[in-house]
A and B are shown apart, each in its own frame.
Chain A
Amino acid sequence: MIVVEGLSKRFGNTQVLTAIDAAFHKGRVNQIIGRSGSGKSVLAKCMVGLYQPEEGRVLYEGRSFHDMEEEERRQVRQRIGMLFQGSALFDSLTVLENVMFPLRMFGTMAKSEMQDRAHECLRLVRIHEKDGLFPAQISGGMQKRVGIARAIVLEPEYLFCDEPNSGLDPQTAIVIDDLIKELTESLGTTTVVITHDMNSVMETGEHILFIHQGRKWWEGDREALLHTDNKELIEFVFAGNLMRQVKEAMTRGR
């Protein structure tokens, strides 16, 4: 479980996050949603230690991440897997080498065992037949899947996914969503997904946090989201025609 307490972050004179309190639960897909520039990615980057917050703290199983000694922080980081918006695969390494990378840096396995484990993860994300290709030789959706495989290869306790569906066609986006949900359930990870894709929210969102103007504006689950009377959240969620039609259909069906 990850708990965020009173977290504030600013860049120069711009206040990006203000006093965020939230809890992200184990074995669930926790989603942070909000408009572009609302501060959701900054919140995630504060949670994984890429940014130092001005105030507040992030607790991993009750231990404050930013107060830890460097070595302890490194150990926590090795239990975190992260899928980046642009996948962040290493260009000079093949798909297999990218997935093996964390094992080579921190694992104690023999090379053949590392390869077996990397292949196992690539099979989980259904891309094992592309293991010899370089990132530039595969599509964006495939890169995301390789990014997921790399994120889970050390069997992380915490999985962060930053905009996992951005730039993907709807079908591939659903595949990625399903994968994240499956992995969360099978590995029992505390999964945090940053997204503004409402299809993804409706498919996988078990615990949803809405960030607006750098503040926690709303918190709940999918069901509560559909029936919310929060003005800003309604404007965000039902901005698209499809979601408006879903809402109307639900209202008629009630």
Chain B
Amino acid sequence: MGMIVHFGRYLNLLRETFSRPERWSIFWRRTVEEMDLLGVQSLGIVALLSAFMGAVITIQTKTNIDSPLIQAWVVGFATRQSVILEFSPTVISLILAGKVGSNIAAEIGSMRVKEQIDALDIMGVNSASYLILPKLAATTMINPFLVMISMFLGIFGGWLAGVQSGVISSEDFIMGIQTGFKPFHVTYALVKTVVFAFIITTVSAYQGYYTRGGTREVGISSTRAVVYSNVVILLANLVLTRVLLL
């Protein structure tokens, strides 16, 4: 029963969020600000994680398929597939759910308990649209770029670690990442990224928007935002994979 109520309120919040902004100029300005806050400021952690994870994937793949029957370039192939299909779109989105999702829930939750959302409503501003729509526009636009950067750095990190540690030659790795490449896999990864960005933003905004109480409740909302975003991302990942890849 409680879940149905939450889902109904979530849909109602989405309906209000997708209302026409009062001022387009303010909407675009806020969207650019959110792109910086939620996207550009996540670039460092995304780059760091991607390069190291790519490196680890390469070394682990090599140690697990160290057989004379398997050609050396398979390590590059496996690294590319792991990074493009799963690591960059899904794991990076899960990490962004922790960083960006908690940020969104805490910001909106604080505004709720400090009556700033009430102030917007009394002024006649659609608070849901004013607060959430720019964040949604920002994350759905900027996250695909973050994921593309992650793909590049993941594969680059794999190449660097593989060549530097001597587990694979540069030629074999490059041959591996070129072998059997399907451009649709990148499309699949980007579709997932946009859906995950939508989930992170709306689930976290929902948790923040309906916060009641004080600072303790803001903390609880922030934690719930991360947990629920992660669970929904994992479910959506399975559904999208079934629909797009099978």
Contacts and interface: CB of A to CB of B under 8 A. Distances in A.
Interface string A60-86: 000000000000001101101010111
Interface stretch (B55-63, B78-86, B113-121): B113-121
A101 B125 CA distance: 11
A221 B114 CA distance: 33
A106 B124 CA distance: 9
Given A104-B23, A106-B22, A78 B124 contact: yes
B118 A88 contact: yes
Contacts of B124: 74-75, 77-78, 105-106
Contact of B22 (A50, A82, A89, A105): A105
A104 B116 contact: no
Nearest to B33: A92
B122 interface: yes
Contacts of B26: 104-105
A45 to B, nearest CB: 8
Contact of A77 (B22, B23, B116, B123): B123
Contacts of A45: 118
Interface string A163-186: 000000000000000000000000
Contacts of A86: 114-115
B127 to A, nearest CB: 11
Contact of B115 (A49, A88, A102, A160): A88
Nearest to B21: A105
A84 B118 CA distance: 9
Interface residues of B, number: 13
Contacts of B123: 77-78, 101-102, 105-106
Interface residues of A, number: 23
A84 B115 contact: yes
Contacts of B116: 88-91
A88 B114 contact: yes
B119 A105 contact: no
Nearest to B19: A70
A106 B125 CA distance: 9
Nearest to B22: A105
Given A105-B22, A105-B23, A77 B122 contact: yes
B109 to A, nearest CB: 13
A84 B123 CA distance: 12
Nearest to B116: A88
A121 interface: no
A48 interface: yes
A74 B121 CA distance: 9
A74 B124 CA distance: 5
Contact of B121 (A50, A105, A160): A50
Contacts of A104: 23, 26
A86 B111 CA distance: 11
A227 B23 CA distance: 53
B119 A88 contact: yes
Nearest to B110: A91
A80 B122 contact: yes
A91 to B, nearest CB: 8
Interface of B: 22-23, 26, 114-116, 118-119, 121-125
Given A82-B122, A86-B114, A160-B122, 15 more contacts: A45-B118, A49-B121, A50-B122, A74-B124, A77-B122, A78-B123, A78-B124, A80-B122, A82-B119, A84-B118, A88-B114, A91-B114, A104-B23, A105-B23, A106-B123
24 contacts: A50-B121, A50-B122, A74-B124, A75-B124, A77-B122, A78-B124, A82-B119, A82-B122, A84-B115, A84-B119, A88-B115, A88-B116, A88-B118, A89-B116, A91-B114, A102-B123, A104-B23, A105-B22, A105-B23, A105-B26, A105-B123, A105-B124, A106-B123, A160-B122
